[in-house]
Amino acid sequence: MFRQNIKQFTSRRFGSHYAPSKFLNEASYKSNPKLGEQFMKQYETKVHHSEGITNLWKKLTYFVAIPAILLVAIPVGKVEMEHAKHREHQRHMSDEEWPQQYEYQNIRAKPFFWGDGDKTLFWNSDVNRHIQK
């Protein structure tokens, strides 16, 4: 008896999920062929426009951006090669020959918690030195 009452209560409670409401007498959406055709024309126009813009940006990428990057990369690469030669020279310099360290360089309020506590996380021994006198 108790089980039957629970079934009836549950079916009343969740019954609206299984069937449309008894108050619906007509469809909630009525199709309009004119609006459908208008929508399809606008959609085709947008697709055509999108294809044109996509092709324009592809051409700009291949014929403008990539050559510009290459034209800038060549002189920058030459300058970096000169810097590499200079760094190679600095690698063999002793601490006394190393350029002067100013008071605002290599400030250490407390030691780093990795390594020997003196080197930063991005330490490069060819470029960086912390000479303590």
Query: Measured in whole angstroms, how far is the alpha carbon of residue 125 from the centre of its chain?
Result: 32
Query: What is the average per-residue pLDDT within 70-75?
Result: 96
Of residues 8 and 46, more confidently modeled: 46
Tell me the average pLDDT across 81-101. Answer: 80
Question: ∠ at Cα 20 (17, 24), nearest 5°?
Answer: 145
pLDDT tens digits, one per residue of 37-68? 999 999 999 999 999 999 999 999 999 999 99
What does the pLDDT read at residue 104?
A: 84
Residue 19 has pLDDT above 70, yes or no: no
pLDDT band per the 50, 70, 90 thresholds, residue 121: confident
